Amino acid sequence: MRIIAKRLPPDQLISLLLTMFEALGDPEKNCSRAATVMINCLLQERGGVLQEKVPEIVSVLRSKLQEAQGEHILPAAQHSVYLLATQHCAAVVSSLLGSPLPLDSHTCMLWRALAVEPRLAAQVLGLLLEKMSKDVPFKESRAFLLGRTPDRVATLLPLSATCALFEVMSTPAAGPAVLELYPQLFVVLLLRVSCTVGVQLPRNLQAQERRGASPALATRNLEPCSSAVDTLRSMLLRSGSEDVVQRMDLEGGWELLRTSAGHEEGATRLARAMAEHAGPRLPLVLKTLACTHSSAYENQRVTTTAFLAELLNSNVANDLMLLDSLLESLAARQKDTCASVRRLVLRGLANLASGCPDKVRTHGPQLLTAMIGGLDDGDNPHSPVALEAMLGLARLVHLVESWDLRSGLLHVAIRIRPFFDSEKMEFRTASIRLFGHLNKVCHGDCEDVFLDQVVGGLAPLLLHLQDPQATVASACRFALRMCGPNLACEELSAAFQKHLQEGRALHFGEFLNTTCKHLMHHFPDLLGRLLTTCLFYFKSSWENVRAAAPLFTGEHHPLPRPHAARQPRLMPPLHRVPGAALGAQAAAAGGPGPAHCGAPDPAEGPGPRGADEGC
């Protein structure tokens, strides 16, 4: 047979092969087996001249597999495809990628035949990664062009390549090739997952999914994001990262990765699992991820930034000497056009406080500059970047050098003051708690300019003890306890420590009476400013805070008793007349307070909602 194969003219070779393919379905088993031997001999000896015929040969093999019933047919066809791939790998991969989706069981077996030899498997995996990255992952539907809800539809080539990767890596023999290409496979598949969240199947495939697959078709989920997640999971299993997979299984990380709402958290949990169970793999993974900050797809930038940010939450960044490269990667994303990316950058920088707290001092100026810049991010009054900056500063201020913090302390205090009265509970909580942390780091070393901010914040903090949200009230307790020592009044500080401990019931009226007595006794010159600030809360949108405002002003200026009205007394300055008695009833109902209100101290920032309206 080898002599025939070597001497057969090229124009007769393909004719003989096609004839042998027809014989595969011969009911006489001996004839069928003889045909398989001849096919494999011809391919082994003369396959090198058949490159142009590869698509035709692969197509015939697939059709014969569906027709033939003999048990020996499938192994013979697999060996034929393997022999072709050793000589024309790219052509075989391209031909198999043209198979219709979802893949039938015979096509799956042909893909697996390409993994039996490590060198060929590595070549096939590399070609599939190239195919996956070559085409756009989705296209916008016509509905988007018409201005309606945008629909993203998956493109076929990357979808087919994803399914093929799963089949190749499902073969145990592919293990060495997967290990060799670990960083490339991990990064490409993670990017594939990120850019297919919410992406739909093409309509023709959606119809097939609804009708249900036939028994001959593979039962894998063809939905774009789910198929990418399954392939990433398969890759980690085949490469020996079973602990990463198990951790993600237990935490529900795979399910989170598939959804728009949970994807960011899913990427975070994946990074946490990788840091804990696959640390030695991370240096090469990060090197491969380095160029993704310039990806054209916003989802990919969000996913990779979430992944990098979480790595800084682990000491693996320091142990593997990855800290500088991680900080550099995050710094490159600080000016990203996507707010979610900028927010995650700040989260990652703040994570240094948990992962490498001893390195915060070294990088203190860079960290503080980024956080303070985040406070001024965009024009959105409820910017998620500003919220992340406040949360991050609260974690970092205790670890940076005091002189690094001092230069930005006043700016931070002034910038966060308007958030005390934000409509969003998260902003009120974060800003007030950060104010407490700023006071804590200044204990015993509070400059006059910052002390001015402390005094300006007393009235809002006292009134927000009555905030309808428990987390805000708790933040106020913490902030006031931290403010006490900076006021240099032991009695007032002791009152804050006594009444405002977490978990202790607060009798607000009694506490306010005690606090006001100490304020009037020790800070008589500041009462006018405190009361002027308090007047703006007469129109607060929160009922309990609105009701507390006249109570606060009344404690500072109690109404005179009837018999005392006949005694001569000096009229206090206008700015110290709160009008509590005149405005209390209207304030409790949400109406205007006194007839005239002065403007708040500019250093305090704007007052609560409605403060800029006429009183």
Q: Is the pLDDT of residue 108 over 50?
A: yes
pLDDT at 143: 57
Q: Rounded to a whole number, what is the largest CA-CA distance in the chain?
A: 132
Higher pLDDT, 23 or 262: 262
Boundaries of every domain in the chain:
436-557
What is the average per-residue pLDDT within 458-483? 96
Distance CA 432, CA 452 (A): 16
Other C-beta atoms lying within 10 Å of the C-beta of residue 340: 18
Residue matched to tokens 């966060």: 416
pLDDT cut 70: percent of the chain above it: 84
What is the average per-residue pLDDT within 349-356? 96
Tokens of 371: 């956080």
Among candidate residues 155, 166, 27, 178, the one with its CA nearest the CA of residue 103: 166
What is the average per-residue pLDDT within 51-72? 84
What is the average per-residue pLDDT within 344-364? 96
Distance CA 132, CA 137 (A): 8
Q: Is the pLDDT of residue 96 over 60?
A: yes
Mean pLDDT, rounded, of the chain? 85
Residue range 175-188, pLDDT digits in tens: 999 999 999 999 99
Asked if 556 and 531 touch (Cβ cutoff 8 Å), the reply is: yes
Residue 394: which residues within 8 A CB-CB, separation 6 or more?
430, 433, 434, 437
Backbone φ and ψ of 579, nearest 5°: 65, 30
Q: Is the pLDDT of residue 272 over 50?
A: yes
The C-alpha angle with vertex 589 and arms to 586 and 594, in degrees rounded to 5, equals: 25
> CB-hemisphere CA count at 13 Å for 347?
21
What DSSP letter does each residue of 485-518 carry, written as one string?
Answer: GGGT-HHHHHHHHHH--TT----HHHHHHHHHHH
Task: Give the least confident one: 59-73, 139-153, 239-253, 319-333.
Answer: 139-153
Would you call 585 exposed, middle or buried from its count of C-beta atoms within 10 A (0-12, 13-18, 19+)? Answer: exposed
Higher pLDDT, 486 or 565: 486
Distance CA 608, CA 133 (A): 51
3-state secondary structure 423-481: CCHHHHHHHHHHHHHHHHHCCCCCCHHHHHHHHHHHHHHHHHHHCCCHHHHHHHHHHHH
Distance CA 529, CA 575 (A): 8
Q: Is the pLDDT of residue 596 over 70?
A: no
Q: How confident is the model at residue 568 (pLDDT cuts 50, 70, 90)?
A: very low
Residue matched to tokens 């593997």: 320
Distance CA 380, CA 383 (A): 5
pLDDT at 578: 34
For residue 67, the SS3 value is helix
Backbone φ and ψ of 152, nearest 5°: -110, 125
Tokens of 552: 């606060």
Residue 70: which residues within 8 A CB-CB, separation 6 or more?
24, 29, 32
Backbone φ and ψ of 104, nearest 5°: -80, 170
What is the average per-residue pLDDT within 251-274? 97
Among candidate residues 340, 374, 173, 171, the one with its CA nearest the CA of residue 260: 340
pLDDT at 142: 65
Asked if 484 and 496 touch (Cβ cutoff 8 Å), the reply is: yes
Residue 273: which residues within 8 A CB-CB, separation 6 or more?
243, 244, 247, 248, 251, 253
Residue range 174-233, pLDDT digits in tens: 999 999 999 999 999 999 999 999 999 988 887 666 665 554 454 578 899 999 999 999
Higher pLDDT, 511 or 294: 511
What is the average per-residue pLDDT within 459-468? 96
Q: Is the pLDDT of residue 569 over 50?
A: no
pLDDT at 115: 95
Q: Is the Cα dihedral 393, 396, 397, 403 positive or negative? A: negative
Task: Give the least confident one: 229-238, 385-394, 508-517.
Answer: 508-517
pLDDT at 561: 40
Residue environment code for 5-22, b if the CB has 16+ CB neighbours within 10 A, otherwise e: beebeeeebbebbeebbe
Residue range 154-166, pLDDT digits in tens: 999 999 999 999 9
For residue 610, the SS3 value is coil
Higher pLDDT, 184 or 445: 184
Distance CA 261, CA 198 (A): 10
pLDDT at 406: 86
Task: Give the least confident one: 198-212, 391-405, 519-533.
Answer: 198-212
Q: Is the pLDDT of residue 588 over 60?
A: no
Q: Is the pLDDT of residue 456 over 60?
A: yes
Single-letter amino acid code for the residue at 224: P
Residue range 116-134, pLDDT digits in tens: 999 999 999 999 999 998 8
For residue 593, the SS3 value is coil
Distance of CA 113 to the CA centre of its chain: 38
Distance CA 222, CA 206 (A): 9
Residue range 504-515, pLDDT digits in tens: 899 999 999 999
